[in-house]
Structure formats: structure tokens, C-alpha cells
Structure 1
Amino acid sequence: MLPSVRQTARSVLARLLPGRAFVATLHSSSSSRNQSQEDEARDILFGDMSGTTAIDQAGQNQVSKPRPNYDIMHHYIPPAQSPILQLLTTMMMKDGKYASAAKQTSQLLLHIYAMTRSPPMPIIEQAISLISPAVRLQRMKQRGGKSLIKPIPLSERQRTRLGIKWLIDEVDKKGTPGKRRSERLAKEIMGIMHGESSVLRMKFEQHKTAMINRMILPPLSLLALCLASSPALAATAGSFADGGNTLISAMMLFVGNDKKVYILDKAEGNAAQINGHPAWGAVWDMDSHQSTVMDVRTNTFCSSGMHLPNGSYVTFGGNGAVGQGGGFGSQLNPGGFSAAWDSVYQDFDGTRAMRILNPCTDSDNFASAQCQWFDDPTLLSMQKSRWYSAAEATGTGEVVIIGGFVNGGYVNRNYPVGDPSKNLGAEYTYEYFPPRSDPPQTFNFLLATSGLNAYAHTFMMPSGKMFVQANLSTVLWDFNANQETPLPAMPNGVARVYPASGAVAMLPLTPANNYTPTILFCGGQAMPEFDYGDYRFPFADTWNIPASQDCQRITPEPQDGSAPTYVQDDNMLEGRTMGQFIILPDSTLLMVNGGLNGTAGYSNNGTLTTTNPADMPFGESLASGPVGKPAIYNPTAPAGSRWSNSGLSTSNIARLYHSSAMLLPDGSVLIAGSNPNLDVNTNAFFPTEYRAEIFYPPYFNASVRPAPTGMPKTLSYGGDPFDITIPASSYSGKANDAADSATVIITRGGFTTHAMNMGQRHMQLNNTYTVNSDGSITLHVAQPPPNPNIFQPGPAFMFVNVHGIPSNGSYLIVGNGQIGQQPTAPASVLPASIRLDSASGSASGANAASATPSSTSSSSGSHIGVIIGAIAAGVAAVAAIGAVAAIIVARRRRAAAAATSMYPMSGPGPAGFGKTRGDRASDSSAFIPLQQSNHSAAWNASTTSFNAYTDNPDPYASNPSFSPMQGAPRTGGGQQYRY
């Protein structure tokens, strides 16, 4: 293919660089090109440059179809000229030889394509954007021989020019590897994309020096530098902002700590490379919004995941090894129905894999084994193959792993269904992490819900039983005794599990509801049972079928002894499939992502009614009508008024199948992913998506946010209360009113994938208060109730709300950090509240930037938050800065109101590069018991080297009895990687 690329690239480059000598060179003997070659060149060189998708702005529950005479190629072709490419070519020119520079540009494009097999233009533009500084530094001599550094703000074009100059200077240094300049440029650009470039470090140091010398900047420039350095300070309530590039499509993600978000994709042809193969793991930095790839060896496609008591995370299962195009990998498993390994993507069979990660911070050695994914199924794996399994943590910190597919497909059944127990493509058992000595047991509920039981919805109940919902059925399940108690069926025939994919969450647990769980289900699909089809594909054109607006609540264990029942709740503002609930710190629920029509999944085989895949109107997607506008659900509002989207902007990025969302510690929400495609496809109707967004909920319009002190690092189940102080500068108005409104909550975002957050839970702790004469408020806060089943042991963030405005979250661990019986103590006894009528807060607009809450054991080391705090203080000290900020905010709000379909795009912050980190003292050895009979091994000092994967194509070969296949394949055949 590459020779054709070389030829067709020339004609396209001629369009980009007209009127120069290069044109004649490019068109030498190729005056005519057929349309297919032109299309190929456009695809290769540009990809999806428009960044737009056809989102139904009206939010109507209607069928979304392509526009008449829709030209898919024109939709993705950039303007006739690329300013960045022209500028790069001009700056590479020497002695006026433009044709020579243009030839180098052509070679650069081809090098990047050869290295990534992805469109090079988006990569080049993103790389140059990442290295372009906001300021330059000018040294000014002072009296006495001293010099002063003055930061000079740059325009957009000046920034780009300086970034390109740094790039060219770097590759022109003597000793830089690579014979040709174009080759050196390509390597440096890929290094930038991987966060491993000295040019990135140069930009970071430039910004750091500018911030140190910030008081020399004029007020407007200082504000601009602050906003560029801290995305949170640039936030506009109800809006979306640029979250950077995730490098891999964010199918799965979780918050590891207060600095890092970890991302997983399926094994596929992402441009980002690691250790000689495409990456499908990454870590995203909250401060810089930059991503760094991580090595994951097994195929994580459609895994499940859960936290552990010490803050580590574990993922379960996945799919067989795949190669280019999503087909079977090069080395097949016995029987030939899946693959063990692929020589191109270098992914191993992940159907039984257990992968563990210890989240690390900037003080840790990120390159060490303790900070990387442990992923070796020969040492640690499940007893059964599981794809789309469910996972739920128990009150002891164990994880129950439930059901799944053995291999793959659209829904987990043949058709006609027949006897489900004879279906060898479905996994009806459950097992544990850490493994118990008993073999996996059959969960009869999975047999009863055959077909629609992938990613079952699970919630631990106070009694120690588990609430489980799949298909239209619901049970309370004693998993220790394997006994089920039937609950009412889901009303109105609306399925909520994959692929119907409704939004599901446990409502906040509060003292007012006595910590009684209520589960909320919204959206999904009410298709007839037949339409769901079988393993191969749906039996209907799902993209034409509107999603449900229906919402239902159920309290599985009512404390008044009444029978559990589903209760009709307010309908959503529009129907959604693949909508996702994120519980916000103010105890409301944010709904994001999803589509108006269809289901999750994708098909390269068409459907029963559209037999030719080429006739599918939205490519391989089985959904249509992306819903870009969020909505907020208030669980305490009166019935009929619980939903609102007033004042919320609309994203122009389609977030359908394989999208994700997660609450961040500052109270914003990270939104990423979307890839309803068999393999990476940036030119599909709904393309593989790498752009992340940050959504800022309405409370970001507050002029001041609480900045509490004394936040704990650990919580126990019952026991002595603790105190948190809210300074008077953290609120305005009467202290008594602020104290009455104050709440303390702990929240866990969980492990998110496929529009669900496994383990998400939100609890308000009981508290009283003392109002002090200086206006500060001391909150006396109870420990969580003495029942670990209510809020399972593990990581969480604590927020303090005043008048509904949350502080930044503080990371902590609930429980003793170990798997096993959690210590409990009697419920906390709180003192009576003490009011003081004369006290009031002292906050004003001057301290609008929220301070990070301090912790009783927090580190005093310097980090970017301290620097940003210092900048904010400098901003407050500059005359008239408040007025400037007000004007800018007002303009942003007016712009947002005028064009709700757009969202503000802010430049990326400084990248985080290779900071010095100390060795991490802890690992997850306590959570991997040495039970060889269960094919697991402890992660301890003797195994920390973790021998590198070899070219042995079958990681299970050392244990022939541990075959990844279980009997004969399910009916349907074809690729296991279809959905």
C-alpha cells in the first residue's frame, strides 16, 4: 500500500502548498489521479479534521439519519491550505530552497504514517500545539549587574512559530539519531505525543519560569498565563472544555488518586505505540491534561473492574487476541474459535486475565513495576473465561465476578434460545477475587435471564446480600449461600443492561434516609425480545428504534418491612441508550453521553433486516442521534421537577458506544472515548474518538468554594468523630446559615465502562457544628456507619459542601486497607451544634479560586497546585484584575448562550514529563493470595521482576488443563471481535 500512498500524497500536498516550486516537483509525471487514489490520500493524510458530528440539537426522540446527499469524504476534508503545514515548511527552508523544504514535509507525513498507520496531519497539529508556549522570556539587565526575567505574552501565531522553531532546533542538533531531517522530525513528534520529548520539557520550564516571575506580567497577561496553567481557573459553569488527547480511545477508566486517571482500551490499532506495538493503556494527568501510554499485554476488550481496599484496582477478563482489522490474532487457541496471541498487535488472550494496578503519584517512580500494570495470566487469572462480566465488591473487600460471554457476540444467546444450560457460549458461573478454594458456582439467575445478562447491574446491600438486575428480572442474592430472593420485574418491558444500556446508579446514602439504598434506572431499550437477535447481530435495524425515557426507582431492603417494588420516577428529558450517571459532590446526578436511538454494540455483519453491512447508514454503529447536552437529576426535588438541563452547553463530540465519564477531585467531570468500530477508524460516521472533554457543573459559577482544613486520610466503620474546619474566607453571609447548609460527603467514582460505573457510591456523613467568633466553622463529623456493606472498604474522595457549593475533594481510604473482616466500633456520638449570631464569613470575589482542602497528614512538598495557588494570590494583588476577569467571564457566558452546540476549547496545559519520583513503599501483595490450585501467585518481592512476555503464543501453555476455551463454540461463527 505504501507506494500508492507515496504517489497520492503528492497531489494532496500540492493542494496544501500551492503557488510554489514544490508544485511542479510534486506533479512531475502524475498529472491525472483517479478518485479512489485521491480518497485514499485524504484519508491517510488528514483523517477527521472537522471535529463535528451530526448531533440532534433539538433533543427530540426521533430517528436520526444521514442528511440527504451527504458527502462523507467532504465532511472530513480540511480547508484547501493547512497554515501549520505551510508554516512548518517555510521555517524548515534554507537558502530560499522552498522545494527542498517541501520535499522534507512530504517525507515527514509519510514517515509518521509509516510509524502509526494513522492520518499524520492530526498528529502533527496536536504535537505542535502541545509544544507551543504561551510566553517567551526576556532578560532585562538591572543596576548592579543583576538581570531580571520578564515573561512576554505571545499571540497564537507567535506561540506556534516558537514551538516549531524549538522543534526544528532540537532535530538539527548534532548527534540526534536519524539520517534524514524528516526522519528525525517524525521521531521527535512521536516523542511529543508520548510525553517523552525534550521540547516538551523546554515548554514546561518556560512556563514554570514565567510563573515564578509572574508579577512582571501586566494584569491581562497574568490572567491569561493563569488560565493556561490551570484549566480549573478557566472553567465556565455548565460548559465543556478541552481535556486533551487520551492517545487511546477511553473505553474504560478510573481515578487512581488526586492526580491521575487510568485509561484502558481494547487491543486495536491506536497510533500511540509502546514497546513496538499499539498501546491500549494510558494514564491521564489531571493538572496538565496530558496522557502517557502504558503497557498492557492481554486484550482488555469489554473487561470489568473494581477497586481494592488499599486503593489498587483490578480488571477481569476481556477477549481473545486480535490483529489488524479486529480479526483473530495470528496464533489460534485450540479449536480455532479464538486466538491466543497476535504478532502485529502483540496482544495475548485476555478472557481469563486479572490485571492489577497500584495508582502512583508524581513522587513515585512511574517506570517501576510497582506503578505499572501487572498483567500475566500465567501467574494470575480467573478459572473461567469471561467477557462482559459484572464485578461487585463485598464488605470484606473481596470482589465477586459474575457471568459474561465465553467468547463474544452481540447478545449472550443463540436463537431460538432453547435450553440455556446447553449454550456453551455463555458463562453462568461466578467466582471471587482473591480466589476462594471452591470452584466457580452456577448462578441460576443468569440462566433465567439468558441473552440479556451481560454486565449485570449489581449493588451490595446493607444485609450483605447483593441486588442484581438483568434482562427484565431482579433478585436479592446471598452469594455466600448461592440463594436468590426474587424481586419484582422491571416495569414497562424496558431492558437496562447491555446492549440496551440504560443509566443506573445508587442514590446518595444520607442520614435522612438512614443509609438505605435506592437504585435508579433511566433509559435503555424496550425493543421486542426477538429484535435482540443472537450472537451474530440484532434482528432489527436498531438505529431506527427510539430509546426509552422511562425512569424507575426501587428500594431493595425497605426499613419499614414493606415489600420492595419499582416506583415510577420522572421521565428523562429525552430517550437515551448508553446514557451514564455521575453522582456529583452536591448529591445531584449528572447524565451524560448516549444516543436517542438504538443500542450499544456494533456490527460488521449488518443485521437480519440489513444484510449488507455497506447499507448500514451509520457505519458499524447500532445507535444514532448522539445526545450532546447533559442533564441533571435532583433526587430530593419534588416529583415532576427532578430533571433539568437549563444553562448547560452542548458538546459537539458524539459519545456513543465505548464512551466513558468520571468525577474528578475538583468536582468537574472527565468525558472521553466513543468508538463504535471494529478497529480504529477515524473516518467512520462515528469515528474512533481520542478527544477528552471536561464538563463543569453549575456549581462552578460560585465566586468562592469551601477550603476546609483537617480532612482525614482514613475513615473507620464507627468510632470517634473528627473535626473539619471551614475558614471564614470560604463562605460569605451569616455563619449560622453556612453551618446549617454544610454537609460532608464521601464519594467513589468506581470503574467506568459501557455507560456504567462499577462500584460508584456516594454517602453523606452525619455532622454537627460549632460556629466560632472569628467566623470559622468547626464541623464535628461522624465516621461511616459500622457496617462495611453500606460503603465497601477502599478509596474515596471527601468533599465539604456549603450552600450547595463543594470544596475540592480530598483522597482517603475507608476501612483498614486490607481484604478481610473490617474492624467496626459503635456509631459515632456527636456533640450538639453551637450557633453564634454575630459571626459571618469574609469571602469575596477576590478569592474566587478554590483552594485545595488541607489534610491532617498531607505532604508539604511543592507541586503544581501550590504554584497555581501562588498565581491566584498574585492575580488578586494586581489592580483591576477582578474587573478584567469579570469581563472575560461575561463574554464567555454570552458566547456559550449564543452557540450552545459549541464548547470552549482551551489550550493544553504544561505536560508532565519524567519528574523525579521516589520508590513506592507499598504494593498489592496483600491482595493476591498464594493459591496455586487456583492458578494464582502472590505479587511479592520474589515476583516483582515479572519476567517479560516471550514470543510463546499461548500464555496458558504451561498449564494445558487451563485452556481458554470451554467446550465447543457457540453457534454463529465469525470473528469473536465483532461487538
Structure 2
Amino acid sequence: MNRYSSILFFLFLQLFFAIQPCHRVVTTAAGGGSWQLLQKSIGIVAMHMQLLNNDRVVIYDRTDFGRSNLSLPDGKCRVDSSDLVVKNDCTAHSVEYDVLANKFRPLMVQTDVWCSSGSVVPDGSLVQTGGFSDGERKVRTFYPCNGDCDWVETGDGLKARRWYATNHLLPDGKQIVIGGRDQFNYEFYPKTSSPGVYSFPFLSQTNDRGSENNLYPFVFLNSDGNLFVFANNRAVLYDYKTGKVVKTYPAIPGGDPRSYPSTGSAVMLPLKNLDAATIEAEVLVCGGAPRGSFEKVAKRNFVKALDTCGRIKINGPNPQWAMETMPYARVMGDMTLLPNGAVLIINGAGTGTAGWENGRNPVLNPVLYWPNGAAGSRFESLNPSTIPRMYHSTAILLRDGRVLVAGSNPHVGYAFRGALFPTELRLEAFSPPLFGRAAE
């Protein structure tokens, strides 16, 4: 068994022998996966979620939506004279969810984390950067604990404003922070020496005026130490140490954008050792919205989302995209790699784009993608949820094999009544079938 197979096997064993949490409510048959309603309300919208090494999940929402449905403890209040909605807000916009106990508690986040980014670093803490308005240069850290720990915020820890940027953990323990609105560059955190901000022309080359489509680029660390970066409809292999493009990949067939606000999703599939010297690395990009969809939504024309996935072997001498068709068109979907190597595609809409009130026709059925299946038969439609998960919905893998699903607020503020898709505070879990086709 090679090193990468050993790691995957170890994670697989961890997954299935982990302690199972209580309070389960199974709502559908197990054959196509089962749904559980965990909490009727966690008080905030789960715009971002991150699992920590102590089986706690940090969840956070933007701070300028108005008051949430969860009070801060001990009379704490967030005072922000620049906030346009509530300048003295005594409600929470972040929570810590205890997976094993199925309980949550409010946290205090000071600055606006709307469309921010972050990563867990080697010591287990979550380092979260950027955001909107007063949060655009901030760095926030959450250290895992079993007590009453909370967010720790620094001053302007970033050199540039970062809104809709992407973070990736590097082998030396630093994070690289790539792009963001009007930022065609990257930087590192903790900070490096001057100049601090490094130009990345690929981001300006993939920037569509008006709709942009290069925000929240898909970034993966390749086996050779370089970064695979996908924005709009194109990708490069990038040496961040020298600032040079190592390889340029062909545009994804069809030419339609896949990154925000067209908002498809992507994963790197499990690595394969072809021989002692060759590692095969593949990236899968699914869904999105046809070019021009963002502009058409302004006229209330909700274009059908993309129903295709592109798959590419990034280390080969002549990489080419292989295209496949999903059972459902999907924009704003979330993709999660499961311990058996399958990919779960979940949440999102069938028409429209990301953005306020810009999505229609929620896609309630998750889909499994089996990478080792025969071409043309890799997708498996699973049991649906009853809860639409639109703009600002999230899904993450838990240690016991379930996928935590939450969020959805396609409105400028909280809207619990009289909205086509009300603000969603419920927390649920989906248990995908993990054994059926794992050996393919």
C-alpha cells in the first residue's frame, strides 16, 4: 500500500469508528442517503462553516444584516459606528456547534466576515481573513477549546483589501490569499517581507467586466508543490515562489464561467501513484452559469444553470478536459470529497446565478459522483431534502461520515416571512451511501 493509499485508508477507518452523535431524526430511506434535522434554528445564517479538530464547527454570518435570532451572552454587544443597519448590536453572528452533543453557543465576531476566506493551520486553529467594509483587511483566529473560547481579531493583518478571495494552506504552514474584488494579486499570512503583495496577471485576464467571474478562484496544491488555479473558464499551474506560470491549461469546453458569480464548485480527486515517480492528480469542476447570466438576472431572466462537469489530469504532458453531464443543472452548489473517494454535489439552484435574489428552482436532490466508475454512469441521484439551500448555503464533511448542511439567505437582510426563499436558520445533516460503489 503506497503512502497516499495508507493515508486515505486511515481516514476511512477513523470515519467509520468515530463516535456517533445523538438526537438523530431520519427523514428519508437510507438507500439513497438519509436526512436529519439537527436544529430548528441556530439563530444565524451559516454563510461559512469550518470543522475543527475537536469535533466543533465554527459557523459565521455577515455582521451587517441586522440583528440575528441569537443573543450574545453576558450583555456583550458589537459597537460599530460604520454599520448601516445596527450600530449597537447585542446579537451573535457566529456560533460554535458541538457535533457530538448537538448543541451550539454564540460567539462574538467583531468585523464583517461577509464573503471572506480562511483556512485551518497546522496548530488546529482557524485563521480567517478579509471580508466586507471594516473586515476587508482583518485577520481573525479561532483556537479550538472545550471551554468559552472566542474569536481573536487583529488589526489590519492583510496588505490588500480581500473580498471574495481564496485561501490555501501551504507546506510551510503559511496561507496564500489569492485575489478578491479588484485585487489581481496575492499575499501570504503571516506576512512575508516586502513587497508583501505579488502581482498575478492571470486574475486580470479572467476578469469579465460587470460580472467579473474570477472571484473565489478554485485553488489546489499540486503534488509538485505548485498551485492549480482556476478562474472564470481557464486554469494555470502556478509557482507562487517564483511568480511564474508553469503550465497553461485549455479553456473548459463550452467557454462558460464556473467561478463567482457564476459559482460552480470544484474538488481535487484522490491522488494516484501511477509508478514510483509519477503521481496522477485530477481536478473536477461542476456546474456554474452560462456567460451573461448575471446580466440577464437584472432583467429577471433566470437562465438555466450548467449541467456539465469538466475533469482534467493536471500533471500530464497534454492535459485535456473530459466533459460529463450531471443529472441536474446546478449553480451555487457545494462539492465535498467523501472518505471513499466519491464526491457529493449538494445545494444550489437550477437557474440564475449567485447574488441577492438571483437564484430560482432550488435543487433539492444531492448527487454522488463516482470517479472510478465507467464514463457515462458515474452520477447517482440521492434522496432530496425539503429545505431549499440557495445563495450563502454551505456543506462540510463531519468525522462520522455525515455532511453538515446549513445556510441560505438570498436577501440583503434577514427575511423570514413573505419571501420566495426565506432566510434559513435550520441545521441538518445528510448521510450519503458510502459503500455501494466504492470499489469501482
TM-score, L = length of structure 1? 0.39
Asked whether the equivalents of residues 42 and 70 of structure 2 are also in contact (C-alpha less than 8 Å), the reply is no
- The equivalent of 2:71 in structure 1 is 273
Residues 938-967 of structure 1, C-alpha deviations (whole Å, 9 max, x = no match): xxxxxxxxxxxxxxxxxxxxxxxxxxxxxx
- The amino acid across from 1:460 in the alignment is L
| 1:497 counterpart SS class | coil
What pairs up with 1:287-306 in 2 under 5 angstroms? 287-306=100-119
1:509 matched to 2:266: no
Query: What is the distance in 2 between the residues matched to 1:229 and 1:253?
Result: 21
Aligned partner of residue 355 in structure 1, secondary structure: strand
Tell me how far apart the structure 2 counterparts of residues 457 and 357 of structure 1 sit (CA, whole Å): 24
Please list the CA deviations of residues 497-550 of structure 1 after superposition, one character each: whole Å capped at 9, or x if unmatched: 01111121111124468642200011111133xx544xxx955535x2000111
Matched, 1:284 2:97: yes
Structure-1 residue corresponding to 2:228: 467
| Corresponding position of 2:162 | 386
Match of 2:303 among 545, 558, 561: 545
- SS in structure 1 of the partner of residue 353 of structure 2: strand
Alpha carbons 2:287, 2:331 under 8 Å: kept: yes
What is aligned with 1:526?
A: 290
Aligned length: 391
Provide the C-alpha distance between the structure 2 equivalents of 1:482 and 1:700, rounded to a whole number of angstroms.
Answer: 43
Deviations 1:314-368 (A, max 9, x none): 1110111xxxxxxxxxxxxxxxxxxxxxxxxxxxx1010111111223xxxx22x
Q: CA offset at residue 596 of structure 1?
A: 0.5
Q: How far is 1:251 from its partner?
A: 0.4
2:171 and 2:312 map into 1 onto residues whose CA distance is 22
SS of the counterpart of 1:273? Answer: coil
Q: 1:721-758 CA deviation, whole Å, 9 max, x = no partner? A: xxxxxxxxxxxxxxxxxxxxxxxxxxxxxxxxxxxxxx
The one-letter amino acid of 1:624's match is R
- Kindly tell me: are residues 461 and 700 of structure 1, through their superposed partners in 2, closer, same or farther at Cα, counting changes over 3 Å? closer
Distance 1:628 1:512, change over 3 A: farther
Query: Percent of aligned pairs with the same residue?
Result: 34
**Of 354, 358, 361, the match for 1:622:** 358
Shift of 1:376: 2.9
Task: Establish whether residue 639 from structure 1 lines up as the match of residue 375 from structure 2.
Answer: yes
1:231 deviates by 2.5
Instruction: Indicate conservation of the 8 Å contact 2:297/2:352, yes or no.
Output: no
Q: Secondary structure at the match of 2:325?
A: coil
Secondary structure in structure 2 of the residue aligned to 1:446: helix
**Residues 310-329 of structure 1: pairs in structure 2 closer than 5 A:** 310-320=123-133
Correspondence for 1:492: 254
Code of the residue aligned with 1:272 in structure 2: it is: L
Counterpart among 216, 221, 245 of residue 455 in structure 1: 216
1:256 to 25, 31, 52: 52
CA RMSD of aligned residues (A): 2.3
Q: 1:565 aligns with which of 320, 335, 339?
A: 320
Does residue 698 of structure 1 match 2:433?
A: yes
The equivalences for 1:853-892 within 5 A come to none
Q: State the Cα distance separating 1:586 from its structure 2 match.
A: 1.6
Q: Residues of 2 paired with 1:278 and 1:681: CA distance? A: 16
Q: Does 1:240 pair with 2:35? A: yes
**2-side partners of 1:235 and 1:283: how far apart?**
27
Residue 504 of structure 1 aligns to a residue in which SS? strand
Match of 2:11 in 1: none
Residues 247, 291 of structure 1: 8 Å contact kept: no
Unaligned segments of structure 2, at least 5 residues: 1-19, 78-89
Amino acid at match of 2:43: L
Alpha carbons 2:185, 2:198 under 8 Å: kept: yes
The partner residue of 2:200 within 443, 446, 449 is 443
Question: Hey, what does 1:664 align to over in structure 2?
Answer: 398
Q: CA deviation at 1:492?
A: 0.4
Query: For the Cα contact (< 8 Å) 1:430–1:442, is it kept in 2?
Result: yes
3-state secondary structure, aligned to 1:474: strand
Instruction: For 2:187, give the aligned amino acid.
Output: E
Alignment check: 8 A CA contact 2:303 2:351 kept: yes
1:355 counterpart = 2:140: yes
Distance 1:550 1:699 in 2: 23
Structure of greater Rg: 1
* Change in 2 beyond 3 A, CA 1:291/1:700: farther
Task: Output one character per residue of 1:673-710: Cα deviation in whole Å (capped at 9) or x when no partner.
Answer: 00111111112211111101111112489xxxxxxxxx
Does the CA-based 8 Å contact 1:654-1:686 persist in structure 2?
yes
Taking the aligned partners of 1:500 and 1:631, their CA distance within structure 2 comes to 20
Query: Is 1:465–1:479's contact at 8 Å kept on the other side of the alignment?
Result: yes
Q: Which residue of 2 aligns with 1:477?
A: 238
1:372 corresponds to 2:175: no
For the residue of structure 2 that corresponds to 1:431, the secondary structure is strand
Checking the alignment, whether the CA contact within 8 Å between 1:576 and 1:596 is kept in structure 2 is yes
CA contact (8 A) 1:672 1:691 kept: yes
User: Where do 1:570-719 residues align within 5 Å?
Assistant: 570-602=324-356, 621-645=357-381, 648-683=382-417, 684-699=419-434
Whether the aligned pair in 1 keeps the contact of 2:27 and 2:34 (CA below 8 Å) is no
| Distance in 1 (alpha carbons) for counterparts of 2:435 and 2:71 | 37
Amino acid at match of 2:286: C
Whether the 8 Å contact between 2:200 and 2:243 is mirrored in structure 1 is yes
8 Å contact 2:168–2:176 — kept in the other structure? yes
Aligned counterpart in structure 2 of residue 397 of structure 1, from 148, 173, 186: 173
CA distance in 1, matches of 2:394, 2:165: 17
Equivalent residue of 1:231, what SS? coil
Q: Deviations over 1:15-72 (max 9, x none)?
A: xxxxxxxxxxxxxxxxxxxxxxxxxxxxxxxxxxxxxxxxxxxxxxxxxxxxxxxxxx
CA distance in 1 between partners of 2:232 and 2:435 (Å): 39
Q: Output aligned runs, 1:706-855, within 5 Å.
A: none
Secondary structure of 1:447 counterpart: helix
Contact 2:23 2:38 in 1 (8 A): no
Distance change >3 Å, CA 462–CA 526, structure 1 → 2 = same
Contact 2:179 2:203 in 1 (8 A): yes
Q: Secondary structure at the match of 1:376?
A: strand
Task: Indicate how the Cα distance of structure 1 residues 540 and 557 shifts in structure 2: closer, same or farther if over 3 A, else same.
Answer: farther
Structure with bigger helix share is 1
Matched, 1:231 2:24: yes
Superposition TM-score, scaled by structure 2 size: 0.84
Change (3 A) 1:491 1:510: same
Cα distance, 1:229–1:313 mapped onto 2, change above 3 Å = closer
Deviation at 1:234, TM superposition (A): 9.8
What's the CA shift string for 1:171-211, capped at 9, x where partnerless? xxxxxxxxxxxxxxxxxxxxxxxxxxxxxxxxxxxxxxxxx
Q: Provide the rounded CA distance (Å) in 1 between the counterparts of 2:165 and 2:201.
A: 15
C-alpha distance in structure 1 between counterparts of 2:318 and 2:434, whole Å? 38
- d(CA) in 1 for partners of 2:238 and 2:434? 39
- CA distance, structure 1, for counterparts of residue 348 and residue 303 of structure 2: 14
3-state SS of paired residue (1:248): coil
Give the Å deviation of 1:566. 1.4
How much has 1:804 moved relative to structure 2?
Answer: 5.0
Deviations 1:852-893 (A, max 9, x none): xxxxxxxxxxxxxxxxxxxxxxxxxxxxxxxxxxxxxxxxxx
1:822 alignment partner in structure 2: none
Q: Deviations over 1:385-428 (max 9, x none)?
A: 111011112221211111112xxxxxxxxxxxxxxxxxxxx122
Greater strand percent: which structure? 2
* Cα distance in 2 for residues equivalent to 1:287 and 1:355: 25
